[in-house]
A and B are shown apart, each in its own frame.
Chain A
Amino acid sequence: MNQPRIDLSPKVSDEVRKTTCYMCACRCGINVHLKDGKVAYIEGNRDHPVNRGVLCAKGSAGIMQINAPSRLRAPLRRTGPRGSGQFQEISWEEALGTASDWLGQIRRTDPSRLAFFTGRDQSQSFTSFWAQAFGTPNYAAHGGFCSVNMAAAGIYTMGGAFWEFGQPDWDRTKLFVLFGVAEDHDSNPIKMGIGKLKARGARMIGVNPIRSGYNAVADDWFGITPGTDGLLILSLIHCLMAAGQIDLEYLARYTNAPVMVDDATGLFLRNDDNKPLVIDRVTGDLMAFDQPGVRPDLNGSYPGHRTVLQLMAERYLQPDHTPEAVADRCGIPAERIRALADEIARVAFQEAISLERSWTDFRGERHERMVGRPVAFHAMRGISAHSNGFQTCRALHVLQILLGSVDVPGGFRFKPPYPKPVEAHPVPHCKARPDLPLDGPHLGFVHGPEHLALKDDGTPARIDKAFSWENPLSVHGLMHMVISNAHAGDPYPIDTLFLYMANMSWNSSMNTRGVIDMLTDTDEKGDYVIPRIIYSDAYSSEMVAYADLVLPDTTYLERHDCISLLDRPISEAEAAADAIRWPVIEPDRDVRGFQTVLIQLANLMELPGFVREDGAPIYKDYADYIVNHERRPGIGPLSGFRGNGDQTGRGMPNPDQLRRYIETGGFHIAHVPAGAEYYKAWNKDYQEWAVGMGFYDKPQPYVFQLYVEPMRKFQRAAEGHGERQPPEHLRDQLRQVMDPLPIWYPPLEDSRVDPKDYPLHALTQRPMAMYHSWGTQNAWLRQIHGHNPLYVSRDVWEKHEFREGDWARVTSAHGSITVPVALHGALNPHTVWTWNAIGKRKGAWALGEDAPEATRGFLLNHLIHELQPPRGDGLRWSNSDPITGQAAWFDLRVRIEKVAPQDEAGPPFAPIASPVGQGPKNLTWKVGK
């Protein structure tokens, strides 16, 4: 036996630099190991609140992202026709000069002729500030085509939703119920949470048409038919109310369940201070809901009025909500729906937990313990991305509230700075004037028709028609409608489309072919219908080819960023947290961080807020802004190390702040006091801590809104009340969908196409090892998901006599694609699905034109139109939730037929020329000597 001697303690690296991952939106802490100044290895940061040391496949593959051959190298000016991919490299001086000329002219004449939309942007607090200073009303990020239904429904209902707003109480919950695809947001925390549940023997239930990923490890799987989640949830509510399995004390104290609603108007009975009124159970008198000592009566009576809970009982106890009435449509037997309701109620009430922690509520009442209902829910895009998604998300939040499981031990918990009531958010602003900033923040929460973003003539003020009668609560805008509306000149034409990190000519658009045509369409004079397109991306994505001017961004290890509490924070339930990125390596290309470029443009245009009175720049780059910008006095992008370095939340800018963040691992964490960890919306200690942190300037306690009065105000407008009146063609829709209590209606596609012609639902899921289109350029990740078959159920497989290696034509009301098929047994029988955004256009991402992503990979996007089929009224009806404008990706219905095996997936697209060439043939990567 001659064992060779091996070095068991090799040097791991010269230096470890700690920053924040950006391989997806999860924002984990990473340790970047460097050898000879090069990235040698990336692992999770054990101290970081988001990932506690673990890291997903994407994060570990970061090394292949920062060496990706698809990285853009220098600013580009288009030389060939749009879409050709022909460019000339230019200097930054020329690029910035060109952009500021174009934009400056717009600003001096009509700022609304700029549409500035950002995609997977994590600096929306900054980009919106820039857009506001510029003065265009046309700004939003990508939430409208992502998960706005979840966020909006959560905030209107209870002051926050899932992911960035809150999380299950992983250490205490005993039953976790997961609706729909969720692998794409909050990915490591959910995996860690599932691991914790499994280790404790807690149970997990998955409700999803597809059993993959998290649903594979669920103890029970409910393979629901897409688009019927709301129907199922309202049936669960029926069962729980019928069984008396609801938390009456919680509902009476912390929700608007006892508030009196006027039978005639559907509005709340209010006092002179405009406070909603309840009947006090002790005195029988009307009292303000928040009056100290009041015992709100859920069953109170007052002439001409009913309580919210009474209205709910009258609605949800109707026979149309019984499991038997919904079972066929949901694809779940009635007895299993009853079993699910029973299980939820059993855990919530028979396994209730109690923490011996005293706390005081907003009415001044002291409680000796914290009672918990250990059932936690989570959902994201799966239930959001339907045209009935807002009401479905509302239903899920209402279900949690009826159980008394929101922000209690074992339930769902808010993360600071949430919860925050609707009233603590801005309302939308849209008034554009030449040479002036916008009159306020673009995005916000309307309280009624008075806050819609309409022009004086009643037409939409925004290019995406957000906050219009078509979708009044569109709190994240409608990015998926921008190009279509701009091309149609509806509601008005624009001059410049300015996009950041959004692959709108490919996987981020519905109707990809149509969008490409819109981007390249010319008028009778031969000019482009959308005259100018500026695009910023770090990589050679499909969208680059359609830009007139390309501003190359850095990779995530080469830049400054802040993950801010003013934006989309990374807090945990027991702590507020924020983080930075910083250049752990220097770019080897002529590229600049996009936020720095925005500052340089703002300085050239002398935008208010960016220059002093003498025109001198306030900020030289984004790092300077992160440290020195104050949103309100003492409140800036980062909460840690303010003032002299010892202040948290509030404090003067500290020039040493970034160094302190770098020294402490790239993040800052501020713990919530133990007595303030639950019941945050009503907890006096939490409210005071939140004021100290600067989340708001005075305590903002509120009660959860089972009944959302602002929605009723839109219904009333549709009924003819009020000054601002909807157009006639939208009255019926508003009356139906703006119901102040959760309802279910079939996905709108079901009423537009005959389900007999299109019997199957078609979905996408995002794989855990890929993020949007980004993963494909990654030499390691593309070996995991290099192409994407269409998965069909055994029913479909056998009906069409498919065999391994077969192909199929998939047809929707809008178009058809030809794709490889594969069998997936653990699938709702009426559903087909594929992985999202694997398909690529030839020539993009520095891949070979024969890459499997471009030959066998495909997009469902070709089957989904951004508009509903024409109704003969000449109007353009968007394929979105009529409440929020959320893109209704998952409404899609298709039929399928077997075709002869193909060489390539269809429809075919001509290759685009690559501005960066193609990657090297083989990789043998080792940076250490």
Chain B
Amino acid sequence: MTALPQSTERKLGLVIDLDTCVGCHACVISCKGWNTENYGAPLSDMDAYGSEPTGTFLNRVHSFEIEPGCGGTAQTVHFPKSCLHCEDAPCVTVCPTGASYKRAEDGIVLVNEDACIGCGLCAWACPYGAREMDAAAGVMKKCTLCVDRIYNENLPEDDRVPACVRTCPAGARYFGDLGDPGSAVSQLVASRGGFDLMPELGTKPVNKYLPPRPKDRLKAASHPPVPVSQDSKGFFAWLDRALEKI
């Protein structure tokens, strides 16, 4: 068993806008690139050119369909998912070696690969399926919130954000301190009705999702314009009147 900090100074996390995400997987691959080269063991790819390529990813995009029935218009929602850096992270408390931990200063949940025995309990405990065991290294991998970018003094200041946020072409991902009600991300969550993923589990995720805006409301002309003409003759008469006004 591993203890969680009583509280953290900051609650760093992501806000993901489901109204804007087009499902392009840019965040998935940017994450893969950065985290293969950086923190811990590389994210391996088994059978990379064969019949069942299976690699380790810290972030994946799932697509869901909503079919409302009764003649309603079906919708598609793209849903990127990575570790939510929960305040009550069951993946940490279940860890037998202390390898999984939550940082007291910023709330980031990390795996100390030197202490990880690859037992996989944390992945079982995570209700979001956000951890993946690396088949080559035998250690558990998860989103680090790019802890080696966000404070990295070798990077220009505006690059000190997670790789997925920096690369997102549609600007659907935001990074910041969700523990500070005045932060830009907290205000965005407040204004757009941001929500927790599966709050009933009591994990208190730090990451938030912004819901898709209501869609498909254009069903009939709201203020149907009065036709100026039903045929070309009427059109020419209108045209002459209209041209007089120019």
Contact = CB atoms under 8 A, between A and B. Distances in A.
A383 to B, nearest CB: 20
A195 B172 contact: yes
A10 B221 CA distance: 58
Contact of B236 (A223, A299, A769, A781): A299
Contact of A248 (B37, B45, B170, B239): B239
Interface in A331-364: 335-336, 338-343, 345-346
A217 B213 CA distance: 9
Q: How large is the interface on B (under 10, 10 to 19, 20 to 34, 35 or more residues)?
A: 35 or more
Given A6-B147, A10-B148, A213 B22 contact: yes
B224 A191 contact: no
Contact of B243 (A243, A297, A782): A297
A768 interface: yes
B9 interface: no
Interface in A747-806: 768-769, 777, 779-784, 786, 794
B217 A779 contact: no
B67 interface: yes
Interface string A594-613: 00000000000000000000
Interface string B1-36: 001010000000000010111111110111011101
B171 A199 contact: yes
Contacts of B141: none
User: Which one of B45, B98, B222, B227 has the highest number of Cβ atoms from chain A below 10 Å of its Cβ?
Assistant: B45
Interface string A51-77: 101111111110100000100000000
A338 B227 contact: no
Given A8-B152, A298-B239, A768-B23, A191 B170 contact: yes
A924 interface: yes
A335 to B, nearest CB: 4
Contacts of B30: 43, 55, 57, 60
Contacts of A242: 227-230, 235
User: Which one of A7, A44, A63, A825 has the highest number of Cβ atoms from chain B below 10 Å of its Cβ?
Assistant: A825
A9 interface: yes
Interface stretch (A113-121, A683-691, A846-854): A846-854
Given A342-B223, A824-B65, A314 B232 contact: yes
B70 interface: no
B232 A779 contact: no
B215 A194 contact: no
B240 interface: yes
Given A244-B228, A769-B29, A922-B47, A43 B154 contact: no
Contact of B67 (A245, A769, A825): A825
A663 interface: no
Contacts of B25: 56-57, 768-769, 784
A827 B76 CA distance: 10
A821 to B, nearest CB: 15
Interface in A1-43: 1-4, 6-12, 35, 40-43
A241 B228 CA distance: 8
Contacts of A923: 44-45, 48, 55
B151 A56 contact: no
B166 A4 contact: no
Given A41-B33, A919-B48, A924-B42, A221 B73 contact: yes
Nearest to B246: A249
A848 B148 contact: no
B220 A317 contact: no
Contacts of A243: 225-228
Nearest to B245: A248
B163 interface: yes
Interface string B34-75: 101111011011111111111101000001010100000111
A198 B218 contact: no
Given A4-B114, A191-B169, A779-B48, A12 B155 contact: yes
Nearest to B45: A923
Contact of A779 (B38, B52, B55): B55
A205 interface: yes
Given A248-B242, A335-B219, A779 B45 contact: yes
Contact of A55 (B22, B104, B167): B167
A920 B22 contact: no
A336 B51 contact: no
A205 B219 CA distance: 12
A554 B212 CA distance: 44
B218 A205 contact: yes
B235 A241 contact: yes
B227 A220 contact: no
B20 A57 contact: no
A3 B44 CA distance: 26
A221 B23 contact: no
Contacts of A63: 33
Contact of A826 (B76, B172, B231): B76
User: Which one of B54, B57, B218 has the highest number of Cβ atoms from chain A below 10 Å of its Cβ?
Assistant: B218
A925 interface: yes
Contacts of A192: 169-171
Nearest to B221: A342
B236 A310 contact: yes
A60 B216 contact: no
Contact of B225 (A191, A310, A345, A926): A345
B148 A7 contact: yes
Interface in A705-734: none
Contact of B37 (A213, A769, A824, A926): A926
A191 B24 contact: yes
B160 to A, nearest CB: 10
Given A60-B26, A310-B236, A342-B223, A920 B49 contact: yes
B74 A211 contact: yes
Contact of B22 (A7, A216, A928): A216
Given A3-B101, A54-B26, A783-B53, A339 B218 contact: yes
A471 B47 CA distance: 48
B194 to A, nearest CB: 15
B128 interface: no
A927 interface: yes
Contacts of B20: 194-195, 198-199, 217
A336 B219 contact: yes
A3 B42 contact: no
A777 B67 CA distance: 35
A52 to B, nearest CB: 9
B232 to A, nearest CB: 4
A814 interface: no
A310 B227 CA distance: 17
Contacts of A922: 44-48, 136
Contacts of B21: 217
A461 B95 CA distance: 75
6 contacts: A195-B20, A244-B229, A244-B242, A252-B246, A317-B230, A780-B32
Interface of B: 3, 5, 17, 19-26, 28-30, 32-34, 36-39, 41-42, 44-55, 57, 63, 65, 67, 73-78, 98, 101, 103-104, 110, 112, 114-115, 136-137, 147-148, 151-155, 158, 163, 166-172, 212-213, 215-232, 235-236, 238-240, 242-243, 246
Given A8-B147, A313-B236, A343-B218, 8 more contacts: A198-B19, A217-B21, A317-B235, A826-B74, A852-B52, A919-B49, A924-B136, A928-B37
Interface of A: 1-4, 6-12, 35, 40-44, 46, 51, 53-61, 63, 69, 183, 187-188, 191-192, 194-196, 198-199, 205, 211-221, 223, 241-245, 248-249, 252, 281, 297-299, 309-310, 313-314, 317, 335-336, 338-343, 345-346, 768-769, 777, 779-784, 786, 794, 824-827, 846-848, 850-852, 855, 918-928
7 tightest CB-CB pairs across the interface, nearest first? Answer: A919-B49, A191-B169, A195-B171, A244-B228, A342-B221, A826-B74, A216-B76
